Structure 1
C-alpha cells in the first residue's frame, strides 16, 4: 500500500464472486474520496471487479500488473470511493 492509499486488500487467493464481495465490503467502510489498493489475480477478477465497482459509481484510478506479471498474474487496482 502506498502512502496515498487509505486501504489495502489482497484478494489474489479468492475466486469470483468472492473477489467482488470482499472489494465491495471494503469500499462500503471507506469515506467518500478515500483510495483503496486491491491486489487481484486471474482474468475473471481483473475484468469483473473494476467493472462492477465502476458500475456502482466508484472511480477506477489505475490497474497495473505487478513487475513481470503475466496477463492473468497479480495486478494492483486503485479505486476512489464516490
Structure 2
C-alpha cells in the first residue's frame, strides 16, 4: 500500500450510514485527482463505504488492514476523487 494522500478521515468510531455521509462530504471538498485516506472499522463500513464511493464514480486505490491491525481491526481505504 502506497502512502500518498492529500486528506485524512477517521470514521472508526462512526456507524452506518454516518460512515458513508462523512466520507462522501470529505471527497466532495477535494479537487479531482486528490487522494483521501479513510480509517474505518467494522463489516458494514468495509462493505458500504468503498462500494458507495465507487458508485459515485471515484477510484478505490487500495483497502487493507492498518499497520499492526488484524483483518478484524481498523482498515485503511485510499480513494481518489474522479471528476
Task: Please give the TM-score of this superposition, normalised by the length of structure 1.
Answer: 0.92
SS at match of 1:57: coil
User: 1:7-61 deviations in whole A, cap 9, x for unaligned?
Assistant: 0000000000000000000000000000000000001000000000000000000
Give aligned pairs, total: 81
Instruction: Quote the residue 1:60 is aligned against.
Output: 60
Structure 1 unaligned regions, length at least 5: none
SS at match of 2:9: strand
Matches within 5 A, 1:10-49: 10-49=10-49
RMSD between aligned residues: 1.5
Task: Please give the TM-score of this superposition, normalised by the length of structure 2.
Answer: 0.91
In the alignment, the residues of structure 2 paired with residue 68 and residue 10 of structure 1 have an alpha-carbon distance, to the nearest angstrom, of 16
